Amino acid sequence: MEATSHNKNMPAASGPAKSKPYLKTLIFGAISISAYVLLFNNEQLVTDTYTMGGWHWVFPVGTVFFFSFSHGAFASNLLSVLGLEAKKK
């Protein structure tokens, strides 16, 4: 299995460079920045609602889950665009 993936990756090193995920970076970046702007523009409402305690814990926990997917995907694609990828064994 490892040998196969190794062989698969070999031509990539010598052949033409793999296309970089510019579009994905832009889409996830736009989603992420819009979410940040939306949240910080409604700072008062957000901080008040999120700290009401009890079942309201779903707001902060749900929000960080959302950001970890959208902003996490943006960060992952951004690193690929910058050429920072894990070493292929």
Partner 1 sequence: MKKLLLICMFVLAILPVLTRSAIAAGGPPADILKGVITEVNAADRTVVFEKGATKERLTLALPAEMKPEEVRLHKKVLVNLDKHASAPNVIKDISIMFMDMTLSKLLALLAIGGIGGLLSGFIGSGGAFVMTPAMMSLGVPGAVAVASNMCHKFPKAMVGAYKRWKYGQADVKLGLVMAATAIIGVQIGITIQKYILKMFGGAGSNLYISAVFMFVLVFVGGYVFLDALKLAKGGGEAKVGKLALRMQKINIPPMIHFKTANVTISAWVTVPVGVLTGMLAATIAVGGFVGVPGMIYVVGVSAVVASATELIIAFVMGAWGSVQWGLSGLIDIRLSLLLLATSLIGVQLGALGTTYVKDYIIKVVMATTMLIVAVSRGVKVPGYLADLELIQPIAPSTIAVLESISFWSLLLALGSAGLIIVVAMIKGMSADRRSKSTVTGVQHG
Site for partner 1 in 4-43 (CB under 8 A): 10, 13-14, 36, 39-40, 43
Helical pair 58-81 and 22-41, crossing angle rounded to 10 deg:
150
- Distance separating alpha carbons of residues 40 and 57, to the nearest angstrom: 19
The answer to whether residue 3 forms part of the interface with partner 1 (CB under 8 A) is: no
- Answer left, alpha or beta for residue 54, where phi above 0 means left and psi between -120 and 50 means alpha: left
27, 31, 79, 81: which one contacts partner 1 (CB under 8 A)? 79
Which residues of this chain interact with partner 1, rule CB under 8 A?
Answer: 10, 13-14, 36, 39-40, 43, 46-48, 50-54, 56-61, 63-65, 67-68, 71-72, 75-76, 78-79, 84-87, 89
